[in-house]
Structure 1
Amino acid sequence: MTDTATDLPVRTPLSIAVDGPSGSGKSSVSKAVARSLGLAYLDTGAMYRAATLWVVREGVDFDDQSAVAAAVRAMPLVQTLDPVDPGVALAGQDVAEAIRSEDVTRVVSRVATNLDVRAELRRRQREIIDGETRPGGYSAGRGIVAEGRDITTVVAPDADVRILLTASEESRLARRSLEVRGTADAESVAAMRDQVLRRDRDDSTVTEFTVAADGVVTLDSSDLDFDQTVAAALQIVSRAAHVRPATKA
């Protein structure tokens, strides 16, 4: 575990779930929160991307949903939970860069909308989250920040802190354009529009990630910069999981 934790007085073990649409900043904000609190970090979106890459490499037909699910159940995936340097490996090979390719991005929804695939990956995600609340994991039992599209409602509805991180469509498109293309000019934003909005539209057929469920705190980052968004997220965590003074007998 890195020694970047702040003195924010929160109880541990601590589980934090962050949900939201594409381009809302889930990954970067979640990593920053995990670094600040000395927690592990789980990118569940990377898990779906890795599953997609695995299916492609195994030569499985996307239309054969049973075969796709079987391939994913057998997938030898290892994710590194370090928020400073999260890693993804398939069969011992580093695929952290490969899973972000446009080839994977174009077809990831075909795997992510397979209900049997979702059931398997949710099982793995819960196993990782539970493991980080006990001694022996990456965080030595301090806890984890897990982010994804259905973390707050399906995977970890009992997390100590649940946040829906959202932003306006304009802001999300600009951020994703900067991330992928290095610029947010009109041409780049237009090129990203179909990719971002189609992915949200496809995934919304199997999960809800645009409206906060009961007990989930909405954080709208449309008018916030990155540091302000991280600070706002940490305030939410502090309010929800602060260390309470011991009561006198």
Structure 2
Amino acid sequence: MQHESGNERINIAIDGPAGAGKSTVAKKVAELLGYVYIDTGAMYRAVALAAYRSGVDAADGDRIARLLETLKIALYPGPDGQRVCIDGEDATAAIRSREVTLRVSQVASHERVRLRLVEMQRALAASKGAVMDGRDIGSHVLPHAELKVFLTASVKVRAARRFSESGAEQGVSLEQLEREIVERDRADAQRVHSPLVRASDAKLLDSTDLSIEQVVEQIVAWSRTKLAEAK
């Protein structure tokens, strides 16, 4: 695909709760537009994994922030999707472990941790042509993104998606995943620093009854409209 030149590219922010399909959708949108995909959730997971391996409590924001000062997190495309490296080690699979999933929301709630990662994320998007997904991209990380989408789905559908991805092999029941998603939503919405919130100018997209392809199609159509408006 032909990449658009810098002045003909926009930044796309995709926010939403856990299990809404943000990463899957963002990757496909980036691919179709020839943009760079930046998985902010993977960055927070990388920090949570490093803290877990170092024996640092997820509640200890100061120690995690200190750990982050020397931590090198790199995102790069691989043959089967984005790879995540921590200090040179490919941690793509490790950051999806259950230990990380249960700790990442608390790790992400610390202001010093968020400030450092937001700095990194903004630098990655500075030249435009980025698709970034997370929970506070449109409201905080990229408040000037030309297209903002708030992607959601019912708790039942989000839990079912998570279960089909990895729940069964991790020995977690669908009911347990539903409870954990409700708790994650509550924690993300109530945290003091950059809570999960729909930006006032974000387009709401409920994927409960839509396929991934339909969601991607809609976001690509919106992005092309925004590009046309910008010319």
Q: Same fold (TM over 0.5)?
A: yes
Do the aligned residues in 2 keep the contact of 1:20 with 1:164 (CA within 8 Å)? yes
- What is the CA distance between 1:121 and its match in structure 2? 0.8
State how far apart, in whole Å, the 2-side matches of 1:31 and 1:49 are: 17
Letter in 2 for 1:72: L
Structure number with bigger Rg: 1
Letter in 1 for 2:208: S
Do the aligned residues in 2 keep the contact of 1:16 with 1:162 (CA within 8 Å)? yes
Q: 2:176 matched to which residue of 1?
A: 191
State how far apart, in whole Å, the 2-side matches of 1:84 and 1:160 are: 29
Do the aligned residues in 2 keep the contact of 1:14 with 1:160 (CA within 8 Å)? yes
Question: Per-residue displacement from partner, 1:54-112 (whole Å, max 9, x unpaired)?
Answer: 11222323343211111122211111156962110011000000000001111112211
Do the aligned residues in 1 keep the contact of 2:155 with 2:181 (CA within 8 Å)? no
Q: 2:75 matched to which residue of 1?
A: 79
State how far apart, in whole Å, the 1-side matches of 2:77 and 2:111 are: 25
Q: 2:155 matched to which residue of 1?
A: 169
State how far apart, in whole Å, the 2-side matches of 1:50 and 1:163 are: 25
Q: Determine if the alignment matches structure 1 residue 118 to structure 2 residue 114.
A: yes
Q: Determine if the alignment matches structure 1 residue 104 to structure 2 residue 91.
A: no
Q: Determine if the alignment matches structure 1 residue 233 to structure 2 residue 219.
A: yes
Alignment of 1:1-249 (within 5 A): 3=1, 12-80=8-76, 85-130=81-126, 132-133=127-128, 143-181=129-167, 188-206=173-191, 207-210=194-197, 212-242=198-228
State how far apart, in whole Å, the 1-side matches of 2:225 and 2:178 are: 36
Q: Percent same amino acid among aligned pairs?
A: 36
Q: 1:156 to 1:81 in 2, by over 3 A?
A: farther
State how far apart, in whole Å, the 2-side matches of 1:20 and 1:156 are: 15
Structure in which a larger fraction of residues adopt helix: 2
State how far apart, in whole Å, the 2-side matches of 1:243 and 1:81 are: 30
- RMSD, aligned CA: 2.4
State how far apart, in whole Å, the 2-side matches of 1:161 and 1:67 are: 36
State how far apart, in whole Å, the 2-side matches of 1:191 and 1:180 are: 13
State how far apart, in whole Å, the 2-side matches of 1:68 and 1:6 are: 38
Q: 1:168 to 1:54 in 2, by over 3 A?
A: same
Do the aligned residues in 2 keep the contact of 1:40 with 1:83 (CA within 8 Å)? no
State how far apart, in whole Å, the 1-side matches of 2:204 and 2:16 are: 9
State how far apart, in whole Å, the 2-side matches of 1:49 and 1:31 are: 17
Q: 1:13 to 1:244 in 2, by over 3 A?
A: closer
State how far apart, in whole Å, the 1-side matches of 2:16 and 2:79 are: 19
- What is the CA distance between 1:225 and its match in structure 2? 1.1
TM-score w.r.t. length of structure 2: 0.89
Spell out structure 1 runs of 4+ moving beyond 4 A: 81-84
Q: Which runs of 5+ in 1 are unaligned?
A: 134-142
Q: How many positions carry a matched residue from both structures?
A: 226
